[in-house]
Structure 1
Amino acid sequence: MKDTILLFPATGMGHLVSMVELGKLILHQYGHQFSITILLINGPFDPPAITSYVNAISQTHPSITFHTLPQRSVDTAPTRSRAAIAFEFLSLYGSDFFDYLKHLPDSSKPRAIVIDYFCASALPVAREFGIPVFHFFTSGAAVLGAYLYLPTMHEEINTTQSFKDLPDTLLRFPGFPLLPATQMPEPLLDRNDPAYDYIIYFSEHLRKSDGLLVNTFEALEPNALQVLADGSCVPKGTTPPVYCVGPLIANPDEGESQHACLTWLDSQPSKSVVFLCFGSRGSFSAEQVKEIAKGLENSGQRFLWVVKNPPKDNSKQSEEADEIDLECLMPEGFLERTRERGMVVKLWAPQVAVLKHPSVGGFVTHCGWNSVLEAVVRGVPMVAWPLYAEQHMNRALLVGVMKMAIAVEERDEDRLVTGEEVERSVRELMDTEVGRELRERSRKLREMAEEALGPRGTSAAALAKLAKLWSWSSQG
């Protein structure tokens, strides 16, 4: 009978996809030894696409079992931040997780549990059952180090002021570029928001883990891994062992290959198209959309641009249910003037398949880590335009450390990126010596990414160490 490895992702498509890819990797290498069960919780902000995604994975990978925990409810009053709502929701599942483990027969108890950073309430529960607990951190190693260091920073910064109120303060994380306090992830900006305390709690539990799996590879972040190894991120304690198991990204499926934008790309010259896509929450104001359009038109570059409707009533979610009127949203005559060299796609495009296409030579991205890795694996250089979560931290790394991206600059007063700035950054990426250097650096990293997951690669070796550890725990 195979030993079960239990995976517990947080809510949200990005976290689920990363955890599923980890499960696929374990089965690909050690399917003869382990089975995979993934625990699901239905979050208050989860898109309907999660259900269809889980169904598709169940059909294509029957060796991955999904188990959904009971539905919980939480106060979603508009006066509460989105992060506070989500974190409270996740914290409610400790008792349900306990009941799930309690009712498993001894022969089916998992040999190891891999939890998301945001599922910290599962750690003490698993310890009650004597089961080893590992974290899977879906961002990179440098950001992992910063989050490990957060409890120390919280203690050392003797102030009641929030980061959002410190525009002139630069924060110093071990091995990390100086980061403006106002560019910290949203949940940490306001000390009076319960989300801030949750993040400190999650980070404290990172330190208690039996091991930290990270969706990265050694050649991508050697400096960050050295800082983690020397203990700088946990100065008054011990850093758990770190295992780089990436890059883990989803492969395009059959249906994606039929998308009209891929047919359009087939007719474009090699590496001539800049692709603009900003993630599931990447919705801009009507003014910002027009500035992007102006910048693309004036740049003279070929482009493929994924557009969502502007948010309504200051919502952080785009109104995807409404039909997008591109003629109304774009500057007058823009679509006609650029139709020979540009394509605008409504709502969604098959990002992995697009980045893989030989006609794509650049990527304007919100700097979500999954998107970053997808670009790295395909050797596509980036324009970094962070929007939320830890994306400003990722931009600092992409531009200042990894040398894989050009940063866009926002206006201080309203965070608008002007058309002139869009034009500058796109031209620099696609048509200057700086862009060519980034492209060459990206090409080399693509080769290193392939090697990392190869039979003798560093990520394959890290997974082998985990498999040996998990096997030992089953014998113990």
Structure 2
Amino acid sequence: MGWEAPPLHILLFPLMSPGHTLPMVDLAKLLAARGVRTTILTTPANAPSLEAAIELAQRSYQYPIELHVIPFPSTAVGLPEGCENASSVPYYQHPAFMTGVTMLQEPFRRVLTKLLPDAAITDWFLPWTFNISEELNIPRLVFHGISFFALCAHASLLFEQLPTDEDTITIPNFPRRVELQRSQMPDETQMHPVFTEIIRQIAEWEPKSYGVVVNSFYELEAEFADHLRNVLGQKAWHVGPVSLCNARAEQQSRRGNKPAIDGEECLKWLGEKEAGSVLYVCFGSMGTFTEAQFRELALGLEASGRPFIWAVKKCRDEWWPERFMARMEGRCLILRGWAPQILILNHAAVGGFVTHCGWNSSLEAVTAGVPMVTWPFFAEQFFNEKLLVEVLKIGVAIGAKQHTVVPEQRPLITAAEIERTVRRLMDDGEEANRMRSRARELSIMAKSAVDEGGSAYIDTQNLIQELTNRRTMPNSKSQ
């Protein structure tokens, strides 16, 4: 028998935050299903959720998804022991958390030296992984859990000296005219030094990396994917929506977190509602409100007249409007904690989604064919809102104007404004019907993209093949 080459081995290292980890776990599943040996790097407190996320899927893979654990210096940066995920850290301690993340450089170096994978795909918030990978002649690819639109916008704004006396900013050197209010963009003068340094490192080292892997599909953002590759000169692969690697409903409801409610109970409640009548409300793992805003949201949802599912991360009992639960009995389902989001979005009863415009949630709604009310808070969420509302035309903006992680710094959006926006999305007017029709078209495109012969399927195969071919090239680490 002839010699058979070992399987391609890729190490994946996500930032320890649900919005960053979940799509990279799905990427690992996607690669494992194509015969790639995959290893996910994480920390002790995050390992159990990752084990749950891959448990159901890995039985069918030729090579199991492996976990490799490195210690996280929680107490060294002033965090409680075992506090190792951004979702468990209040916003004012995010700088301490990210300081702890930067202290993972030597553990990462030791793992990479020991495993010597053929490539490392690391989160874009871990830019220092480039230097370590470069030392070992291992190609480092950047995983972006954000849109091509946001990637291009970040690149266009990075080195521009924007006018300081204008309230409205037009994104320069962009495929189409897009305007944002200055308040919708991060204020770098107010940024903690640890984040300023990370952004500086991203700007310096990401262009030197082997390329970027993006959780999107070409048909959704063709002009922006082309701009990134052809104008900005970035080698890129579109491999999404990666969540579609979870073919079975039970896997979709168990992507690494225990749902706040049993999926069957959720399906039973939805099954009693008319098609397209239910509004799903969720603001991700880090979306928080003031008590006043929470109450306005509750009253706005009540006034809309629509049945709704509301995934509530944290609130106190006194935050609810008086007798709200009694009035909403049978009309709403409150999920305290993590929700089986993909299962909910794909149910026929769900006709709209109030979202913070995180890219995972946005793409999951696109895949399910559900239009959105957009309510961004921070990060790249205001860019995603522009894509959903102005380019794809499957969203209605709630009117959020302030880019900030601090709930108290956001202007109050009233119950009347919330009711009006929900009705625009959910009623049977011409605008709402156009959005629903467009959302259904994009859903079909998303599913076709990951099917054999689709754009994402082909690009994923191209990535695997290029990394496989690199092993036989001169000066590769295997020589």
Fold match by TM threshold 0.5: yes
Matched, 1:209 2:205: no
Q: Deviations over 1:50-94 (max 9, x none)?
A: 443222135332600010123324534899954433433222222
- The whole-number CA distance in structure 1 between the counterparts of 2:133 and 2:236 is 20
For residues 225 and 59 of structure 1, do their structure 2 counterparts lie closer, same or farther at Cα, with a shift above 3 Å needed?
Answer: closer
- The whole-number CA distance in structure 1 between the counterparts of 2:123 and 2:227 is 22
How much does 1:258 deviate? 3.4
For residues 343 and 95 of structure 1, do their structure 2 counterparts lie closer, same or farther at Cα, with a shift above 3 Å needed?
Answer: closer
Question: What letter is aligned with 1:57?
Answer: A
Contact 2:310 2:333 in 1 (8 A): yes
Contact 1:87 1:198 in 2 (8 A): no
Structure 1, unmatched stretches of 5+, are: 43-47, 234-238, 311-323
SS at structure 2 position matched to 1:97:
helix
Question: What letter is aligned with 1:96?
Answer: P
- The whole-number CA distance in structure 1 between the counterparts of 2:91 and 2:456 is 40
SS at structure 2 position matched to 1:280:
coil
- The whole-number CA distance in structure 2 between the counterparts of 1:194 and 1:40 is 21
Pairing of 1:30-179 with structure 2 (within 5 A): 30-31=34-35, 34-41=36-43, 50-60=46-56, 61=58, 63-73=64-74, 74-76=76-78, 81-104=92-115, 109-153=116-160, 156-157=161-162, 168-173=167-172, 174-175=174-175, 177-179=178-180
Aligned to 2:222: 222
Question: What letter is aligned with 2:106?
Answer: S
Contact 1:189 1:196 in 2 (8 A): no
Contact 1:81 1:193 in 2 (8 A): no
For residues 56 and 410 of structure 1, do their structure 2 counterparts lie closer, same or farther at Cα, with a shift above 3 Å needed?
Answer: closer
How much does 1:286 deviate? 1.8
How much does 1:377 deviate? 0.8
Contact 2:359 2:384 in 1 (8 A): yes
Contact 2:72 2:101 in 1 (8 A): no
For residues 441 and 10 of structure 1, do their structure 2 counterparts lie closer, same or farther at Cα, with a shift above 3 Å needed?
Answer: same
Question: What letter is aligned with 2:108?
Answer: F
Structure 2, unmatched stretches of 5+, are: 1-5, 80-88, 403-408, 474-479
Aligned to 1:464: 461
Contact 1:294 1:419 in 2 (8 A): yes
SS at structure 2 position matched to 1:357:
coil
How much does 1:126 deviate? 0.9
Q: Deviations over 1:358-415 (max 9, x none)?
A: 1000000111111011101100000001122221121121111111110002488852
Aligned to 1:362: 352
Count of residues paired in the alignment: 433
- The whole-number CA distance in structure 2 between the counterparts of 1:197 and 1:112 is 25
Aligned to 1:374: 364
Contact 1:261 1:349 in 2 (8 A): no
Aligned to 1:289: 294
Aligned to 1:436: 433
Give the alignment partner of residue 338 of structure 2, picking from 336, 348, 351: 348
How much does 1:330 deviate? 2.0
Matched, 1:8 2:13: yes
Contact 1:209 1:240 in 2 (8 A): no
- The whole-number CA distance in structure 2 between the counterparts of 1:2 and 1:399 is 43
How much does 1:331 deviate? 1.7
- The whole-number CA distance in structure 2 between the counterparts of 1:192 and 1:362 is 36
- The whole-number CA distance in structure 2 between the counterparts of 1:472 and 1:463 is 14
- The whole-number CA distance in structure 2 between the counterparts of 1:192 and 1:86 is 12
Aligned to 2:85: none
Q: CA RMSD in A?
A: 2.6
How much does 1:118 deviate? 0.9
Aligned to 2:477: none
For residues 376 and 183 of structure 1, do their structure 2 counterparts lie closer, same or farther at Cα, with a shift above 3 Å needed?
Answer: same
Contact 1:83 1:195 in 2 (8 A): no
Q: Deviations over 1:119-154 (max 9, x none)?
A: 11111111111111111111111111223345422x
SS at structure 2 position matched to 1:103:
helix
How much does 1:101 deviate? 2.5
For residues 81 and 349 of structure 1, do their structure 2 counterparts lie closer, same or farther at Cα, with a shift above 3 Å needed?
Answer: closer
- The whole-number CA distance in structure 2 between the counterparts of 1:427 and 1:355 is 19
The percent identity for this pair of structures is: 33
